Structure 1
């Protein structure tokens, strides 16, 4: 069994561009080059994560574009290169994400009335329902249930007699 990651490709891309809990050195250097203080770098990271979680950003390209918009908004110095081009996209691809199941037609399954439970594997016996039992088997079943009820009642009566005898 492999490890399953519930992160979307967008969340993986944000983590790759900015870092997870701590900011990557590459992102710190880019912010320093642009004249962005470190607290604003954290704000950019939080803003991207928030927008991805709220599903305002769809797709890895949109994450890259939004990242560049935020960097350009906050920057004090002009920079000619695009930061997102330095970070490879291969690692942010959704390797660990399980693909969605294709939609299946409900017509392929038989109705619930026709589904029969198979016999038990260890002895190969099938059990009849109450409607299929012969009359003698049904009476035996009822007698067994009545015996169980009578035995339970005897135990209860004995306990009540013991409690009643202690009170006297």
Structure 2
């Protein structure tokens, strides 16, 4: 039994870039090189999480772009590199999410055209009434008559009990 993660790829990407509850060291170092105080680093993280939860950011690329915007706005020092390029995207890819249903037509025929054959009983094939011999037909009729007689006996017993209860 596996663990199913309800986190979206955007949430995973924010956690990977900035850290979970505590800010990770890479993001802390990036903020230090840009001259951003630690409380602003937490504010950037909260802002990203909030925007992802409000579904303002859709897609990992938008999360990356928004983080770079926030870093550039709050940063006092100019930096030539992009922080998001240092962090790999494979880890934030959503592995436990059920894939979407394909839009294209399936190769199966429609349900009304699928015919399920009757269950095979040890490879036996059953003959129709026209194909039965006279002996087999008489045996079949006798068996049906026995079933009808047994049903009638049960009905007669129930009627007798009803008659006794009415007296």
TM value normalised by structure 2: 0.62
How many angstroms does 1:62 deviate by? 0.6
| Matching of residue 28 in structure 1 with residue 8 in structure 2 | no
How many angstroms does 1:95 deviate by? 1.1
Partner of 1:100: 100
| Matching of residue 82 in structure 1 with residue 85 in structure 2 | no
Q: After superposition, give the CA deviation of every residue in 1:88-143 in whole Å (9 maximum; x if it has no partner).
A: 10100111212234589xx848xxxxxxxxxxxxxxxxxxxxxxxx9949x79xx8
Partner of 1:39: 39
Give RMSD over aligned pairs. 2.9
TM value normalised by structure 1: 0.61
Q: Considering only CA atoms, is the larger Rg found in Structure 1 or Structure 2?
A: 2
Alpha-carbon distance in 2 for matches of 1:136, 1:28: 88
Alpha-carbon distance in 1 for matches of 2:92, 2:55: 17
Alpha-carbon distance in 2 for matches of 1:59, 1:4: 20
Runs of 4+ in 1 over 2 A off after TM superposition: 100-104, 134-137
Question: 5+ residue gaps in structure 1?
Answer: 110-133, 144-168
Aligned residues: 116
Alpha-carbon distance in 2 for matches of 1:108, 1:36: 62
